[in-house]
């Protein structure tokens, strides 16, 4: 349990920071899809003798590459293609797990995370990704902000939009892989999207959004872990309901502000 | 403001979005320091293509000569109005090009951004969220951003479209100041009457139709060649207006 | 072939054919109206309903119906958010609902059979269930056929539609209701995670291959039914889970279509888009 707490606190750094950018740059569905797409990779990792993070990363990158190919020139809309690929990955994983490798009860852990099964390697990965996230945000926040604000106008400001975005996506993939052991392939959004979305509701500037997202990810992650421990659940679903409650509270609390803002900007 | 080499020299410029799909052909003109050039033409006629080519975003044939990277003032509708950025944050983006990624934005640039917002009449609104401002105010903030960039050449994409009167006057005043400072302005516009007040007009429709001072250049023939049947010639046969489309 | 000899498989086959055809056609309209994200979200967020029905021993279709209605209401509410944007708000809602379903399924001493709820249990379905699903699917197909002209007007000429007596908003709402019904029909066999494959893959394939709405609808129905047959056949021959097999068959058909027609007409290209713009949700 101690290990899980340390892991969650470390993961909160990367998940909170990345989450802020995921929310701002409209990558929520994509992040969820990447997480889900790692499922077949995780299933074959054991039988094929691969370390799970690498197998997951491979599956995630494969997913992203296929998605980029399918959505080229608008042949299929991005939400349709994203949904199709993630469903295909789930089906593939299900077949591999139930009929090929007979993974049995281990599948729950891959899908929803584990409280007691985290290893040292998972902690090291979480720490490394946290460092990478902090460094990248410090270096690239301006780039990411300007690119998101006005993608067409960014190059004229001297912004290397393409380079910055590739780095963002790479970091997103790494963070997804890092949170997988704790929350599972189906619920990466609980750390990568929900806390940052809640933070977005209660902050008004980027400078406030980033630390608030990290703090909420840590708090919700920790509370979720306690809940999981007491109810004998995997962490993913437990953190999900804590996060959902947090978002609902923040949404209610900020509703009057939203109505006022809508009136002013009309 | 006469004499010396032109501040902007374009020769035989062609730009395309892909092999065999030229979007703009044969553009040749030059502008001296302190001149404002109205860029006229129908939607899809090449105004935006010209800007992108000048910004180096498209592969081009032909030559372009100007001193220093241009500043770009896009239409405000394209930016994300829900982003957590204040007017000052947006103005500060003008300093990004000269700030290496490992440095914080200099205090001098912050002061510059505040002064730029003052110049466009938004000094008191520096801390307000960009998306909460009116359309005209947002357009002014984008102009302030270009001021912070301190470029010799400015490209403005329909800066007066859908803008309130106060903002229009403020922007017009700034543009006059910029001309007096010896900068070159390229202003894409649908307003032919307004174009007659600038120093030069450039008419584009996939290629260069005409270039020169407004009075002799903006003849009915030229306007018809530029706008096709989007032109409406008014009673006295001397003036014409272009039908405006809002195809964003 | 074993497929044609077993009574259960015969019934399952029939159900899948009707379901595949109905979902295929429905999917074409969903894609034209850009509701793929809504379809995916609805399927995921309905999990609590399924779990509660399973725990209470109630018919799955009942839980599915309740779950879908609750999910639809929450998603509709979230989609109107202006602060974080509808994509993010719906994502949060779906994550929370799905997590709640998992909590309900895994917490009790006698856990609900979560795997079957997620991935389907086609061959464990009773004849009643299969018949009910088949009837629902046939209803969807019938509604689409009857409403064809209204749909065309609402989707392709919304400005002129009212003059033709068609109200686009009503039509869209009706279509989403059909989505809910189709999801309920398909969830028994495919599970709530895989329903999306049958709803969108045949349609996405048809949109690459066909150029008129009519041809797309016919193609999608055929591909959907084909995915059902193919999936079930493979599942019986190679002994893999039926729902996943059907989902994989549908996605494979889409992949083949994508290979065959990788976008013949280049759109007005414009500038190079940054990778995040291309992969993220569009405005």
ipTM: 0.93
Q: Which residues of C41-52 are buried (b: 16+ CB within 10 A; e: fewer)?
A: bbbbbbbbbbbb
Q: Predicted confidence band at B247 (pLDDT cuts at 50, 70, 90)?
A: very low
| Contacts for A1 with CB less than 8 Å, ≥ 6 apart | A115, A116, A225, A229
Work out the number of other CB atoms within 10 angstroms of the CB of residue A46.
14
Which among B74, B94, B101 is the nearest to A139, CB-wise? B101
> Pairing mode, if any, of strands B60-66 and B36-40?
unpaired
- Scanning C35-74 for CB atoms below 8 A from A yields 36-37, 39-40
Our CA-based measurement puts residue B69 at a distance from the nearest CA of chain C, in whole angstroms, of: 19
Do A23 and C84 meet the contact criterion of CB atoms below 8 Å apart? yes
Domain presence at residue C150: yes
Tell me, yes or no, if A205 comes closer than 8 A to chain B by beta carbon: yes
Joined together, the tokens standing for residue C192 give 């709530």
| Most A-contacting residue of B80, B125, B145, B148 (CB-CB within 10 A), to test interface | B80
**Residues of chain C contacting residue B57, judged by C-beta atoms under 8 Å apart:** 271-272
Alpha-carbon span C21 to C220, nearest angstrom: 7
User: Would you call C269 and B18 a contact, using CB atoms and an 8 Å cutoff?
Assistant: yes
Dist. CA A159–CA A143, nearest whole Å: 6
C268 pLDDT above the threshold of 50: no
A169: domain range? 2-265
B63 - beta bridge partners? B11
The answer to whether residues C275 and A68 touch, using CB atoms and an 8 Å cutoff, is: yes
pLDDT value at residue A258: 55
The answer as to whether C255 is a domain residue is yes
Distance CA B176, CA A188 (A): 54
What pLDDT score was predicted for residue B174? 92
Question: Domain total for chain A?
Answer: 1
The CATH number assigned to the domain holding C138 equals 1.10.3470.10
In this complex, do A148 and B96 lie within 8 Å of one another by their Cβ atoms? Answer: no
> pLDDT class for B101, splitting at 50, 70, 90?
confident
- Is the CB of residue A190 less than 8 Å from the CB of residue A243? yes
Kindly state whether residue C211 falls inside one of the protein's structural domains: yes
Q: How many domains does chain C have?
A: 1
The helix/strand/coil state of B9 is strand
Report the CATH number at residue A17. 1.10.3470.10
**What span, in angstroms and rounded, lies between the C-alpha atoms of A238 and A96?**
27
pLDDT band at C223 (very low <50, low <70, confident <90, very high): very high
Handedness of CA C179, C182, C187, C193 (dihedral sign): negative
Confidence bin at A146 (pLDDT 50/70/90): very high
Task: Say how far residue C255 (Cα) sits from the centre of its chain.
Answer: 17
Cα–Cα dist B69/C256, whole Å = 47
pTM of the full predicted structure? 0.91
CB distance A158–B97 less than 8 Å? Answer: yes
Residue in A with minimal Cα distance to C201:
A84
- B52 interaction partners in chain C (CB closer than 8 Å): 271
Task: Check CB contact of A219 with chain C, cutoff 8 Å.
Answer: no
Q: Would you call A26 helix, strand, or coil by DSSP? A: coil
| Strands B36-40, B184-188: pairing kind | parallel
Q: Which domain holds residue C74?
A: 2-262
Give C 227-266 residues with CB within 8 A of chain B. 266
Using the Cα atoms of residue B70, residue B73, residue B75 and residue B80 in order, give the sign of their dihedral: positive
Task: Pick the residue of B71, B89, B154 with the most A CBs within 10 A to test the interface with A by mutation.
Answer: B89
Tell me the per-residue pLDDT of B20-64, one tens digit each, with 9 for 90 and over. Answer: 667 888 899 999 999 999 999 888 778 888 998 888 888 788 888
d(CA B90, CA B44): 28
Q: What's A225-250 look like in SS3?
A: HHHHHHHCCCHHHHHHHHHHHHHHHH
Supply the pLDDT for residue A38. Answer: 97
Type and span of the H or E element at A166: helix A161-183
CB contact under 8 A, B74 and A142: no
- Mean pLDDT for all residues in chain C: 89
In chain B the domains, ranked by start, together with CATH numbers, are 8-242 (3.40.50.300)
């Amino acid at each position: 349990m101690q290990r899980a707490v340390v892991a969650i606190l470390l993961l909160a750094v990367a998940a909170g920071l990345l989450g802020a950018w995921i929310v701002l740059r409209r990558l929520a569905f994509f992040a969820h899809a990447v997480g889900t797409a790692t499922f077949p990779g995780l299933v074959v990792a054991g039988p094929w003798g691969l370390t799970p993070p690498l197998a997951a990363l491979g599956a995630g990158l494969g997913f992203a590459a296929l998605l980029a190919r399918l959505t080229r020139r608008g042949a299929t809309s991005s939400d349709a293609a994203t949904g199709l690929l993630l469903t295909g990955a789930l089906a593939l994983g299900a077949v591999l797990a139930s009929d090929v490798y007979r993974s049995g009860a281990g599948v729950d852990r891959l899908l929803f995370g584990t409280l007691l099964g985290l290893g040292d390697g998972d902690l090291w990965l979480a720490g490394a990704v946290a460092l990478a996230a902090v460094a990248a945000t410090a270096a690239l926040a301006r780039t990411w902000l300007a690119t998101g604000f006005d993608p067409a106008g960014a190059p004229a400001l001297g912004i290397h939009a393409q380079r910055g975005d590739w780095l963002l996506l790479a970091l997103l993939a790494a963070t997804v892989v890092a949170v997988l052991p704790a929350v599972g392939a189906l619920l990466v959004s609980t750390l990568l999207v929900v806390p940052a979305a809640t933070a977005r509701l209660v902050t008004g500037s980027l400078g406030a959004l980033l630390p608030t997202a990290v703090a909420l990810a840590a708090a919700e992650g920790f509370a979720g872990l306690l809940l999981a421990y007491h109810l004998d659940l995997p962490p993913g679903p437990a953190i999900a309901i804590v996060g959902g409650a947090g978002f609902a509270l923040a949404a209610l609390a900020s509703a009057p502000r939203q109505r006022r803002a809508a009136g002013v900007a009309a | 403001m006469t004499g010396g080499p032109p501040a902007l020299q374009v020769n035989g410029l062609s730009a395309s979005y892909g092999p065999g799909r030229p979007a703009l052909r044969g553009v040749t003109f030059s502008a001296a320091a302190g001149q404002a050039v109205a860029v006229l033409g129908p939607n899809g006629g090449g105004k935006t293509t010209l800007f992108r080519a000048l910004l180096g975003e498209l592969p081009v044939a032909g030559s372009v000569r100007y001193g220093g990277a241009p500043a770009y003032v896009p239409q405000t509708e394209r930016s994300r109005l829900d982003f957590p950025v204040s007017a000052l944050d947006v103005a500060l983006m003008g300093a990004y090009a000269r700030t290496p990624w490992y440095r914080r934005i200099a205090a001098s640039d912050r002061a510059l951004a505040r002064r730029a917002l003052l110049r466009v009449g938004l000094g008191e609104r520096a801390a307000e969220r960009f998306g909460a401002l009116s359309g005209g105010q947002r357009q002014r903030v984008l102009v302030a951003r270009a001021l912070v960039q301190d470029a010799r050449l400015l490209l403005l994409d329909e800066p007066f479209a859908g803008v309130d009167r106060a903002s229009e006057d403020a922007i017009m005043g700034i543009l006059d100041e910029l001309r007096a400072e010896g900068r070159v302005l390229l202003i894409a516009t649908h307003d032919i009457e307004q174009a007659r007040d600038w120093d030069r007009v450039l008419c584009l429709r996939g290629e260069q139709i005409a270039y020169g001072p407004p009075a002799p250049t903006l003849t009915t023939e030229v306007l018809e060649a530029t706008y096709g049947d989007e032109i409406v010639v008014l009673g006295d046969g001397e003036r014409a207006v272009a039908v405006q489309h809002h195809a964003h | 072939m074993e497929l044609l000899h077993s009574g259960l498989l015969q019934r399952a086959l029939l159900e899948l054919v009707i379901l595949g055809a109905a979902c295929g056609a429905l999917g074409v309209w969903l894609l034209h109206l850009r509701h793929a994200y809504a379809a995916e979200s609805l399927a995921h967020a309905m999990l609590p309903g399924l779990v509660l029905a399973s725990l209470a021993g109630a018919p799955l279709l009942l839980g599915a119906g309740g779950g879908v209605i609750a999910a639809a209401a929450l998603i509709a509410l979230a989609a109107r958010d202006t602060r974080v944007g509808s994509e993010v708000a719906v994502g949060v809602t779906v994550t929370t609902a799905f997590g709640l379903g998992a909590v309900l399924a895994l917490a009790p001493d006698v856990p609900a059979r979560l795997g079957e709820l997620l991935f389907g249990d086609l061959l464990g379905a009773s004849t009643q269930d299969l018949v009910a699903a088949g009837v629902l699917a046939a209803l969807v197909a019938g509604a689409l056929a009857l409403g064809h002209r209204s749909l065309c007007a609402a989707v392709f000429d919304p400005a002129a539609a009212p003059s033709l007596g068609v109200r686009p908003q009503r039509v869209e709402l009706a279509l989403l209701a059909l989505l809910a019904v189709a999801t309920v029909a398909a969830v028994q066999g495919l599970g709530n995670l895989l329903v999306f494959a049958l709803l969108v893959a045949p349609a996405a394939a048809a949109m690459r291959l066909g150029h008129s709405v009519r041809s797309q609808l016919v193609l999608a129905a055929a591909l959907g039914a084909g995915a059902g047959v193919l999936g079930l056949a493979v599942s019986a021959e190679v002994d893999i889970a039926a729902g996943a097999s059907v989902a994989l068959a549908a996605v494979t058909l889409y992949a083949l279509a994508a290979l065959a027609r990788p976008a013949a007409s280049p759109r007005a290209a414009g500038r190079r888009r940054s990778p995040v713009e291309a992969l993220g949700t569009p405005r």
